[in-house]
Structure 1
Amino acid sequence: MKKSARITAIEYVLPIKTLSNEDLARDFPEWDVDKIFGKTGINNRQIAGVDECASDLAFQACEKLFSTIDLERSSIDFIILCTQSPDYFLPSTACILQDRLGLSTHCGAFDYNQGCSGFIYGLGLAKGLIETGQAKNIILVTAETYSKYINPADKSVRTLFGDAAAATLVQCAADGPYIDRFRYGTDGSGAKNLIVPIGGSRNPSAMNESPELYSDASGNSRTDANLYMNGSAIFEFSMTRIPQLFSSIFDETFTVDDVDLFAFHQANKFMLDSLRRRIKLPIEKFISEFEHCGNTVSSSIPIALKESMNKGVLSEGQTVVGIGFGVGYSWAGCVIKW
């Protein structure tokens, strides 16, 4: 029997604390509630607590997954965890998660740092592990707490990003392929346009020193220990690379008409509307599920898929094209048969 990797369950969690447009309008009086929503399409973002880390959200998402599936924990033979906000430089957050979940010590576990394209990359990794016989039951975890990198005085990113974690069960199945046609791309020349400049080995943080606070031309304040985003450069990259990636998925045997739904990285309303119009996709097939949680980085696609399932928009037998793109620059796409 040919081995095929298949998504069989998705669950996600959001932190309790809410950052609403009303909250942001109080902090940034020059932007009222309507302007914030008009620019972003987001009403609320959920923000991790002071002592709440990516592994805490990841743990909650996995526990929620286990509560909804009929599978013993001992059957999980791999955890793949995508995060750019790990608990520690080392050890791997996935190793901490394996122990906390009480999984077998025969379970493989590793982190990878990928950001907005991370869910698609993770599906590709899971497919490789399953279809080469290295694993049968994989939990692909995406967990991010970007809020810990964001300066409260920087509305350019504070209005967009929310914290979240998702747990996706990928299992060995017959018949397939259920996840296929993977396409990837990288352009590291854009690394500087979405970055936390200091804190790693290249530019370590100075002990007991606070980095200098500075403001940009738009009045956003941050330090080099905070997240910086060049929004216009990210937009230009997305408008150029993503239509090219999208086209590469299709050929004479598989066309846009064969697709039931399109699940793009849920960046923000302006970005998604622009991409949808550029690629000429029908709005009724284009998933938009970020109003209640903001841009949740690597968790945005699994959250969009789960919400589509909950609403009856996505059901068994349908075909989805998933597209992730962003920090790196990195981009990836694939076809998912539900």
Structure 2
Amino acid sequence: MSAQAAGFDYGIEAIGAYVPRSRIHCADRAERLSVPRDTLVSRIGFDTLSVKDSGETTSDLACRAIADLLERCRIDPQRIGCLVVVTQNPDGYGIPPVSAIVHGRMGWPTRVASFDLALGCSGYVYALSLTAGFLQSLGADYGVLVTADPYSKIVDPDDRATALLFGDAATATLLSRQAPWRIGAADFGTSGDHAGSLMLDERRRLRMVGKDVARFCIREVPGSIARALEKNAAALDEVDVVLLHQGSKFIVESIGDALGVPEKTPFLAQDVGNTCCSSIPLVLAPLLSAPSGARTLVLSSFGVGLSWGSTVLRYAPQAAAPAQAQCAPQEQAQTQPQVLAVTA
């Protein structure tokens, strides 16, 4: 298929990240919960889960991810049009929104529009399109998209269905006009009749019907990817990597098998766990540099709702405007810090 232009006038310039250094060792927790070793290794797939310190807030994680971004890129705050924070686990009770707290702590101009987006694991692809479209309507130069959704706030450590899955992390994506990685058209959808498969109970603890969620992912995601490719006049054989939400090893491998390209759907979150809306930008960050060799990527996120979103990124350096942010070459995001063990 031809590389017909589709999507937005904005793209991804760089990604900053913050991953807490404390870790839960899954083998220890699995033993305590009587989860078989084979299940942990072959289906869940996480060795350790990153976990924030008890005193760290969602806004702390967000600010630390932005700080990492600003170490990579020189950005004039006067040229930032918006700050979007994807989270379902805000500071306190959600008022004021995390975006406003972060905006104040960063000291950014009052003209920067700031708002939260309450989506879970599907949030990154949704937020990419929303942020790019919002910037396009403003005509602004830059937008900062933050993912920060620490599930350690809501996971029950005694719940076998969730206690071996979720890790904490935050990312900050810089969007700019005609950046090298162009954001394509997206496919979105919701299966609200399955909303109860992943929800909070009356004690504000996360409950998940794992088999229902897995069936949903395997049933809906391959079709979503196919539709996103069609919208962008792309074919799967020209895609270098399909970056799936890192929900579990079983889900990533099952979707790869369903697509017929398991070699293109890597599972890369063994050391941090399912970091919700941060899982895709964490694994995307190392691929943004030209030396990675990637030129066409598919992103597909899915989860709470139940909902999904898929899009295509294309590397088009010739499209980059000359007056963009000065960013150092993208390296591995901060996903391998010094590890501190915490109680399982």
After TM superposition, the score normalised by the length of structure 1 is: 0.85
Tell me, in whole angstroms, the C-alpha distance in 1 between the residues paired with 2:39 and 2:235. 38
The aligned residue for residue 209 of structure 1 is: none
Retained in 1: the 8 A contact 2:188–2:310?
A: yes
Whole-angstrom CA distance in 2 between matches of 1:33 and 1:143: 30
**1:204 paired residue number:** none
Specify the alignment match of 1:234 in structure 2.
213
**2:183 is matched with which residue: 179, 182, 192?**
179
**Among residues 187, 196, 199, which one is paired with 1:195 in the alignment?**
199
Aligned to 1:336: 313
Superposed displacement of residue 322, structure 1: 0.5
Q: Do the aligned partners of 2:8 and 2:132 also contact (CA within 8 Å) in 1? A: no
Cα-to-partner distance string for 1:122-150 (whole Å, 9 max, x where unaligned): 11012212323442200000001111101
Gap change, CA 1:186 and 1:314, over 3 Å in 2: farther
CA contact (8 A) 1:93 1:111 kept: yes
Structure 2 equivalent of residue 219 of structure 1: none
Letter in 1 for 2:157: P
Instruction: Name which of structure 1's ranges 94-103 and 149-158 shifts more when overlaid on structure 2.
Output: 149-158
- Structure 1: where are the runs of 5+ without partners? 199-223
| Cα separation, 2, equivalents of 1:4 and 1:171 | 9
Which residue does the alignment assign to 2:146? 141
Matched, 1:304 2:307: no
2:247 corresponds to which of 256, 263, 267: 267
The code of the aligned residue for 1:104 comes to P
User: How far apart are residue 177 of structure 1 and its match?
Assistant: 8.5
Report the AA paired with residue 61 of structure 2: L
| Counterparts of residues 1-338 of structure 1 (less than 5 Å) | 4-28=9-33, 30-31=34-35, 35-87=39-91, 88-173=93-178, 178-198=182-202, 224-251=203-230, 253-283=233-263, 285-309=264-288, 313=292, 315=294, 318-338=295-315
Task: Check whether the contact 2:185–2:311 (CA below 8 A) recurs between aligned residues.
Answer: yes
Q: Mean Cα displacement is larger for which, 104-113 or 121-130?
A: 121-130
Please give the alpha-carbon distance, in whole angstroms, between the structure 2 residues aligned to 1:261 and 1:126: 23
What is the distance in 2 between the residues matched to 1:311 and 1:153? Answer: 44
Q: Determine helix, strand or coil for the equivalent of 1:114.
A: coil
Q: Is the 8 A contact 1:144 1:163 kept in 2?
A: yes
- Mapped to 1, the partners of 2:304 and 2:117 lie a distance apart of 13
Partner secondary structure for residue 299 of structure 2 = strand
Instruction: For 1:246, give the aligned amino acid.
Output: I
Q: Give the CA deviation at 1:27.
A: 2.6
Residues 269 and 3 of structure 1: CA distance in aligned 2, closer, same or farther (over 3 Å):
closer
The secondary structure found in structure 1 opposite 2:274 is coil
The 2-side partners of 1:3 and 1:272 are apart by 28
CA shift for structure 1 position 309:
4.7
Aligned length: 307
Q: Name the aligned partner's letter for residue 300 of structure 2.
A: I
User: How much does 1:300 deviate?
Assistant: 0.4
Is there any run of 5+ residues in structure 2 with no aligned partner, and where? 1-6, 316-344
RMSD of aligned alpha carbons: 2.2
Shift of 1:22: 3.6
Identity %: 31
TM superposition shift of 1:20: 1.0
Relative contact order, CA 8 A, sep 6+: which one is greater?
Answer: 2
User: Using the alignment, how far apart are the partners of 2:285 and 2:300 within structure 1?
Assistant: 16
- Check 1:148–1:251 CA distance in 2 against 1; reply closer, same or farther (3 A cut): closer
Q: How many angstroms apart in 1 are the aligned matches of 2:213 and 2:86?
A: 21
Is the 1:193–1:230 contact (alpha carbons within 8 Å) kept by the matching residues of 2? Answer: yes
